[in-house]
Chain A
Amino acid sequence: DVKVTQSSRYLVKRTGEKVFLECVQDMDHENMFWYRQDPGLGLRLIYFSYDVKMKEKGDIPEGYSVSREKKERFSLILESASTNQTSMYLCASSLLAGNYEQYFGPGTRLTVT
């Protein structure tokens, strides 16, 4: 079975802190994704990556950056956390682009105070 793990289930950070969310997949998937999920808004794509060291902006990239130095690891970085970044963050991976399902991690619930 594909396993996608995220570094933390719950995280509390202060405004202005730099925050790292880590995601690791163990199935040699090419594609990895970061979403945030908010009530009433569904899932929104922040960034995605189709290859090592490659990244593409999603629908809401402002205030975030990503890093993919190894195929199995995709990190989301909040350079200076703000309260409006309080959310559930979901990482996902898929084998290839197009016609493939995504496998999700358990999520990180981030609270910025």
Chain B
Amino acid sequence: SQQGEEDPQALSIQEGENATMNCSYKTSINNLQWYRQNSGRGLVHLILIRSNEREKHSGRLRVTLDTSKKSSSLLITASRAADTASYFCATDGGRLAFGKGNQVVVIP
């Protein structure tokens, strides 16, 4: 089954900096979604971008999608300590397939 793959796997940044994560996938999709997971908890949906969209914003989040390159990026601007979490991309080609996740640590 298709699967998102995030890159880089782990990221450590100072509070106030921007954090960028990338996700690649192999087959065609209907949409791509990003989720956040705080340590030991369930996942929380952040944003969904459809295959015919190229960019989407939600608060401090910016997601881009390039279907020709089969890749997406998630940008978190002006990071906060509370953004420390794992971030997953999930591709929807009929059912969701999750990547392995990106651990982001924001240092106060």
How many residue pairs bridge A and B at CB < 8 Å?
50
A103 touches B41 (CB 8 A): no
B95 touches A107 (CB 8 A): no
- A90 to B42: give the CA distance in the assembly, Å: 7
Tell me the chain B residues, 32-56 only, with Cβ under 8 Å from chain A: 33, 35, 40-45, 48, 50
B98 touches A99 (CB 8 A): no
Contact-residue bracket for chain B? 20 to 34
Chain B interface mostly helix, strand, loop or mixed?
A: strand
**Interface residues of B, Cβ cutoff 8 Å to A:** 1, 3, 30-31, 33, 35, 40-45, 48, 50, 88, 92, 94-101
Partner of A104, one of B31, B40, B44, B100: B44
- Beyond contacts A45-B97, A102-B45, A106-B41: 14 other A-B pairs, Cβ-Cβ < 8 A, are A42-B98, A42-B100, A42-B101, A43-B43, A43-B88, A45-B95, A48-B95, A97-B95, A99-B31, A102-B43, A103-B45, A104-B42, A104-B44, A107-B42
- A43 to B3: give the CA distance in the assembly, Å: 10
The interface residues of chain A lying within 8 Å CB-to-CB of B1 are: 59
Tell me the chain A residues, 66-108 only, with Cβ under 8 Å from chain B: 90, 92, 97-99, 101-107
Closest Cβ of chain A to B30, distance in Å, is: 6
**Interface residues of A, Cβ cutoff 8 Å to B:** 4, 35, 40-43, 45, 48, 59, 90, 92, 97-99, 101-107, 109
The interface residues of chain A lying within 8 Å CB-to-CB of B94 are: 97-98
Partner of B33, one of A45, A101, A107: A101
